[in-house]
Amino acid sequence: METIVKGISKPLQKNERKMGSEAPAISLTMQSGESKVIGMLATKVQVMITLPYHDSLSPALFEITQKYHEQAFIYFIGPQPLDQSINPACTSVDFEELAKKFGVYINETLCAKSLFIINKDGQFVYKEITSDVEDAFDLEMFETKLHEAIHFKKKGHVHENWMGA
């Protein structure tokens, strides 16, 4: 895969993640100073948003993340602190390991613009990597997939079915 940076095509390095595959566990130092392990199994859906620049977070994406912030763990990761005031426990400039493991690493100062949704079972259920770091995300699709992931109910037997009631 590749992305375009200021008109120049740049290869994305390291691992490409496929839908349904298991998310890697990654330790991140958040801007609050705390260390968090993200990926894997979690009590809520997780959203990893990598942004290449301090001004890459659009007002529309910010609005969607605010709408769902109580129902999902939403993390903003990139090489620069964002211009917007966001909970420092949800933002990190410790981007290199995540960018490499998620296949959005460009170099030591830059990552691709991407969205990843990881379900409670620790599997990738949605990803979007823009073809140009300046491009906008498909926010309608992102919000639809996030809503679906948050409200997903596992199928299987319920107690009444198991008991033959």
The DSSP 8-state label assigned to residue 89 in this structure reads G
Q: Using DSSP, state whether 6 is helix, strand or coil.
A: coil
Against a cut of 0.75, is the pTM above it? Answer: yes
Which one, of 120, 116, 112, lies nearest residue 95 by Cα? 112
Question: Domains (ranges, CATH) in the chain?
Answer: 2-151 (3.40.30.10)
Q: Are 73 and 65 in contact (CB under 8 A)?
A: no
Averaged pLDDT in 10-residue chunks for the chain of 165 residues: 84 76 89 90 91 94 94 94 89 92 92 94 92 93 94 66 49
Quick one: pLDDT at residue 165? Answer: 47
Which one, of 136, 140, 156, lies nearest residue 148 by Cα? 140
Quick one: pLDDT at residue 106? Answer: 93
Quick one: pLDDT at residue 11? Answer: 78
- Distance CA(43)–CA(45), nearest Å, equals 7
Quick one: pLDDT at residue 60? Answer: 95
Strands 72-77 and 45-50: parallel
Longest dimension (CA), the chain: 64
Quick one: pLDDT at residue 24? Answer: 87
